[in-house]
Structure 1
């Protein structure tokens, strides 16, 4: 039994609490449209240093450090798996500049901010300045998902965060080795050799691991049900082997491994990446809760007003200066440069690595080494809260966001699709029709509706379309199987609740029906493509009705008896499909899109 004089949780209860709070905070943030990172930090601080419910070091023990390290490695690996070189395209020049020029410039500017802003000595500032190169993929990904940035600035921020993370860790290792040489009897030759060997080994291990996984999966050496377990085992083995040679070099190894796999064109890549994304969401939640709960308020008491000055200098001077100088001479529009310059949140890697090197610097007797960890946490909290609340508004102000109004993507250029697009346009809802048959889009183009000629599932469509501006997708083609393929493939990205398709033409015949686990939600009360096109051919039309206090939903029902309700648009411009599992309450300022039969249309 636990000591009654000591408040604490069992390791199992502690891990369960961390998981529940992390996922719960993300869900609550989604419901309230708030930055998830902010709520996770708040939850961790509340249960940790404020109320003392959870103390990771007390309740989980010495496994906290290794758990965080492995979690960060998996997060960086998943980030590397998103770095497909074929999709970089017009952002490649900016990414190269932010890595090749931005990393050293960020190191110098951050070191200067630490020394002159926070008053930290040059040795500790050089080590911590190297760590500050990182901008936190654990923070950037949730922020980009919420802000819905345009494709190129989003790619710039994502690539910079993922690629610069291991570079920042290695820069800290390099600076620390120099500090060790200055404070011990170790020679510069030995320190340089250790660093070079570690970088080379990490690069080779990452490349071999990625190539080995790609070859094994492509040649069928691993069955489908074992691909994810094998991937995890190889990932952890590569990370551990590289970290054994040179501490923190494992981050470089796993990033390279993910990059190799992302560009190997594996048939099962989508499934692997999807599973990794789910795992990353869990790990990000857990790591942030653990780090926030581990905060010792007494360490923050060591800081003074210069800590605030340091944060202000980093956000307002060091970061903008680094980005704007790095991007000089590129063809990037000034709006995108400003957005990237004003966005530099720090995350898990910064706190984890800074805590490690802070302890090592303090052990060596380096002045101000004990200030590294609290300064890192203050910087993370300040940047996460600031960018969590400002990235979306700043992006919209600069015209680099998908916009405030949710858009609708219609797949299939039929007569019904065109009528629905025109009606949505009247309701001031952004809409786009896509079809791989150019002739089917002719009428839509003539009507002034935005169109895209091509397959929505193709890589070209992903590169050409700003998909983040659409919140809902309606698969309305005459091919039931294709509708199911589109909704099944895009559901993980848009959410199954935002994906709809027409009913199957042969619904009710079990030997023709597709599994219920595939496809999207129902639309138009079970009407098929043939039903809708037949009604349009007989003279049916789509109507838009705005409800008011005087003319409510019941009045519309009485006037349009027997009409087919299709969509209801709330006062914020969000379309809602009325079906069995979602029937909103309609009030004033709602708009109804409905199909009027030939008889009602004539009347």
Structure 2
């Protein structure tokens, strides 16, 4: 009993310390996952606490469940708009890019570590996936927003290349364990994992959506049903020879985009579960590693990390994105954001559990590479994004949003709350003075803790909270009027988009009436929207820029069909 109580005490303390340590991460700009890993190492065998943990089976069990929850959560948060913008390039990176990375790193590992080609390729497969959670936790903590096409490509790639890396790793582990050779049967096994995983994920997603709409359960039970379903689908897909991780990610995508009234509750709970999973994985992996054992392959692992970061990843990005004509600065950033996280370390447990030769080598090398990636790439993501000028102004949003998901409305309705600050554009005015381009209902204000009804026609003062009822799809338009940052954000917008904003339907001839422009052979009747769209062989996103003589035209707003509505105009910097 004392041992159990001590285990619970230590576990709770490690979680507490890890969560408090995120404050250090935010202040230093360091990846949170690196902090969790360091806490685990300090508590481990060579650390301050000296906890001895050498159980790869338990580590694999916890890691697998954690990855299921993380991938399911990532799938739910992947919106169709991001797929329309970046599905093709992200798919190339998640397939061809993973194979190229595996090949370059694998052959290098075989040479450096004196391994066979298959063993080297196995290490390459283990190190071939990127970590979305690590990347976007840094962006979120630093309040950085980058161009949608780049962000969407990275997000979809990171969510979908994990299953690819898992399938490659399992295939190569089976080859080593059975002392087989690489032939067409291996390719058949790989295809089986992809096809079965995709089919099971699609079917599970549809069934779960059907059950959510039919079962008369309390809303509190649906997040639990989602967790149970994702773990069940992962296990049963693996039993049929498919990729359980691919199935879970696809299931999450279908559930997250089905417009279920329960989705808000599911997302809220899974946000916390995903963080618990991240903390659990990195604490456990920090406990599992013995730093003194890393010395044997440390130099080779550091060289391999350099090859991965500076050769394999850029080469994979360059080749994979050739058909999509990404700007060079976008490719540089995507290459640099090949951040490694928990997945490679979890995958390194596969050969350990299978009893493959050099089982500890895979884990030790993967651990060193992940540490180097988190420190070198993770700490420099934000400066690199700003150096490449990929940052775009953040969207205005309410201070609080309360969805009315139990109301049987065709459109998702929300109660929005906006705090009135000293610099707020609505300070000193009343509701009747405001103009909106969408439907919105004023619900009153909260002043000194008291609710003042709309009938009183209050004038908005500092420290008031304005409450409105609106459709979810109209939140952005309403925030542009009511958000506290609405007037100060114009400084950021003008720096990025320019001081002047024109309708996308304005013709080049109309623009020439305001500016002296060398049109060359351009069709002056062509609209700004058409002119910009023709210069991109892909879907245009907010922040895309083209040059017209001495002017820079920047896409500022798009409609639901991807047509340019507003264009920012600014002169070229001297």
**TM-score range with shorter-chain normalisation?**
0.5 to 0.7
Q: Deviations over 1:525-554 (max 9, x none)?
A: 44879xxxxxxxxxxxxxxxxxxxxxxxxx
SS of residue in 2 equivalent to 1:301 = helix
- 1:172 is aligned, of 169, 172, 175, to 169
Distance 2:123 2:78 in 1: 27
Q: Provide closer, same or farther for how the CA distance between residues 40 and 419 of structure 1 changes in structure 2, counting only shifts above 3 A.
A: closer
In structure 2, C-alpha distance between the alignment counterparts of 1:293 and 1:313, rounded to whole Å: 27
Question: d(CA) in 1 for partners of 2:83 and 2:184?
Answer: 39
User: In 1, Cα distance between the equivalents of 2:305 and 2:94?
Assistant: 22
The CA distance in 2 between the partners of 1:242 and 1:107, in whole Å, is: 25
Question: 1:549 aligns to what?
Answer: none
Evaluate the alpha carbon distance shift between residue 401 and residue 438 of structure 1 in structure 2; reply closer, same or farther with a 3 A threshold.
farther
Offset at residue 378 of structure 1 (A): 0.5
Match for residue 159 of structure 1 among 152, 156, 166 = 156
Q: 2:305 aligns with which of 294, 300, 311?
A: 311
- TM-score, normalization by structure 1: 0.65
> How far is the alpha carbon of 1:114 from its aligned partner?
1.9
Larger radius of gyration: 1
Corresponding residue of 2:69: 74
Of the three residues 380, 383, 391, the one matched with 1:401 is: 391
Alignment of 1:203-282 (within 5 A): 203-246=198-241, 249-282=243-276
In structure 2, distance between residues paired with 1:224 and 1:312: 49
CA shift for structure 1 position 2: 6.4
* 5+ residue gaps, structure 2: 400-415, 468-484, 493-574
> Please, which of 443, 447, 450 is the counterpart of residue 480 of structure 1?
443
Aligned to 2:31: 35
Superposed, 1:519-598 pairs within 5 Å as 524-526=462-464
CA RMSD of aligned residues (A): 4.1
2:19 matched to which residue of 1?
Answer: 23
Paired residues for 1:61-460 under 5 Å: 63-147=58-142, 148-150=144-146, 151-181=148-178, 183=179, 197-246=192-241, 249-360=243-354, 363-365=355-357, 368-402=358-392, 420-421=424-425, 440=435
The change in CA–CA distance for 1:503 and 1:131 in structure 2 (over 3 A counts) is same
CA distance in 2, matches of 1:418, 1:2: 57
> 8 Å contact 2:173–2:350 — kept in the other structure?
no
Supply the distance in 2 between the matched residues of 1:61 and 1:354 (Cα, whole angstroms).
10
Normalising by structure 2, report the TM-score.
Answer: 0.68
Q: CA deviation at 1:264?
A: 2.1
The whole-number CA distance in structure 2 between the counterparts of 1:62 and 1:96 is: 32
**Change over 3 Å in CA distance of 1:83–1:422 after alignment to 2:** closer
1:467-493: CA deviations, max 9, x gaps?
xxxxxxxxxx88136xxxxxxxxxxxx
Deviations 1:267-316 (A, max 9, x none): 32233122211211121112111111211124312214222211111111
Contact 1:75 1:280 in 2 (8 A): yes
C-alpha distance after superposition, 1:190-228 (max 9, x if no partner): 766665555444333322221111111123443312111
* Counterpart check, 1:57 vs 2:63: no
- Report deviation, 1:230: 1.2
Distance 1:54 1:203, change over 3 A: farther
Q: Is the 8 A contact 1:18 1:286 kept in 2?
A: no
Gaps of 5+ in 1: 424-434, 442-452, 456-476, 482-501, 514-521, 530-565, 574-603
Counterpart Cα distance in 1 of 2:421 and 2:134: 39
Measured against aligned partners, the alpha-carbon deviations of 1:385-411 in whole angstroms (never above 9, x if no partner) come to 1122100000011111247xx886689
Q: Is the 8 A contact 1:103 1:168 kept in 2?
A: yes
Q: Distance in 1 between matches of 2:398 and 2:187?
A: 58
Q: Is the 8 A contact 2:234 2:244 kept in 1?
A: yes
Deviation at 1:16, TM superposition (A): 1.1
CA contact (8 A) 1:109 1:322 kept: no
